[in-house]
A and B are shown apart, each in its own frame.
Chain A
Amino acid sequence: MNIKVLGTGCKKCKTLEANVKEAVANAGIEATVEKVEDVQKIIGYGVMSTPALVIDEKVVSKGKVLKAKDIEKLF
């Protein structure tokens, strides 16, 4: 599973990244977690409100900092 956290580097994006890592650890699955800060790439996903979450190249959440347990539900 490939997970990308899209964000330009503010606190919210860092929190989402941390929550994602926690969710991955709790669920015990194999996943790569990447932080994408490049604006052009973010726009490429059609995202205008950061932070956003992309799982296996599909945008699953925009503009929200999801809690770890909510992220787990998306796996």
Chain B
Amino acid sequence: MFIFKWLNAQLLKMEWLSNLVEKLITDVFKLDMTTRLGGSLHFFIYDVIKIFILLSVLIFTISYIQSFFPPERTRRILGRFNGITANILGALLGTITPFCSCSSIPLFIGFTSAGLPIGVTFSFLISSPLVDLASVLLLASIFNWKIAFAYVVVGLILAVLGGTIISKLKLEKYVEPFVYQNQMTESEQEQMTVLDRMNFGKEQVLDIIQKVWLYVLIGVGIGAAIHNWIPQEIISAVLGQDKWYSVILAVFAGVPMYADIFGTLPIAEALVLKGVGLGTALSFMMAVTALSLPSMILLKKVVKTRLLIIFAGIVTTGILIIGYLFNAFSYLII
């Protein structure tokens, strides 16, 4: 148990890094940690380095695992199941399957024309950006394991329920007809060697860091500002734990925004440290990542607007509920 705590502290929370950066601030920059400048500089440097180290290690490892689950395999696995089992599997596989949002249309068509019910495809599409293995581990590093686990469970439930509702409402008629007209041919599976998989892992790391470094810097910057510059009173007044509207505000602020989840984590961290409810912070994160304008625009090509709105509505409502639940029960897991 002690070993686990030590590993958790050193590998995930990187206490050694925090101490190192603190030395940097006090000895090299000659700043007092308790001042605004000192504190926020520490937060910024420590968080940026921590996130980039974790990002690289996590993405490499996870991509390696993901190389075993290309969409073709996912589709084959899902084709064998029915009903809610299929939705659950769809949600689970959504988290493991590597997925770029530009692939969302071919993927949607591929799944649908293979005969998978659209509810299952939507379960996959909801869980994919929301429950991302790397960000779950980052959550564990910034908060703790119980929260990370709860986030995964809740995200999966949202994905399964969302997909099931879409199936039950018989919304197939809102899918563009051409999607069903396609015959999906089975293409051969490439065999990957260990070296292939390692290269894939490396490419994913470089690719994702290239995509998100700016978001991370901005996110940590905002986090640092919140951490040290914005007085607690203002934040409590707007987003405080006891304010019933805080979750609604957080969600509606987050939905139109799109940033990578790694950029939102430091903001959520800073908000919670300032007394914002855990549910409010998490629902902000989920709102930002689950619904993005780029993927909405892409999805619009394969489903009619009404289905798109229903999809967005279900996800938003789900996130709102999750936010309230987490706020209510946060004393159990913090």
Q: Hey, which bits of chain A sit against chain B, CB under 8 A?
A: 7-10, 12-13, 39-40, 42-50, 59, 62-65
Q: Which of A7, A13, A43, A49 contacts B113 (CB 8 A)?
A: A43
Q: Is B103 engaged at the interface, CB distance under 8 Å to the other chain? A: yes
Q: Does B330 interact with chain A (Cβ within 8 Å)?
A: no
Footprint of A on B, CB under 8 Å? 70-72, 75, 98-103, 105-107, 109-111, 113, 178, 182, 184-187, 190, 200, 203, 207, 298, 301-302
10 contacts between A and B (CB under 8 A): A39-B106, A40-B178, A40-B182, A46-B185, A46-B187, A48-B71, A48-B103, A49-B99, A49-B106, A63-B103
Q: Secondary structure of the A side of the interface? A: loop
Q: A10-B100, A40-B178 are in contact. Are A49 and B301 (CB under 8 A)?
A: no
Residue in A10, A44, A64 whose beta carbon sits within 8 Å of that of B102 in the complex: A10
Tell which of A44, A63, A65 touches B185, judged by Cβ atoms closer than 8 Å: A44
Q: How far is the CA of A40 from the CA of B111 in the complex (A)?
A: 14
- Measured between beta carbons, the chain B residues less than 8 angstroms from A48 are 71-72, 75, 103, 106-107, 110-111
- The answer to whether B301 touches A43 (Cβ under 8 A) is no
Contact of A13 among B71, B102, B207 (CB under 8 A): B102
Question: B106 near A43 (CB under 8 angstroms)?
Answer: yes
CB distance from B70 to the nearest CB of A (A): 7
Say which residue of B106, B203, B301 sits within 8 Å of A42 (CB atoms): B106
Contact yes or no, A12 B102, CB < 8 A:
yes
Instruction: Using CB atoms, name the residue of chain B closest to A39.
Output: B105
A63 near B187 with CB under 8 A, answer no
Residues of chain B within 8 A (CB-CB) of A64 are: 200, 203
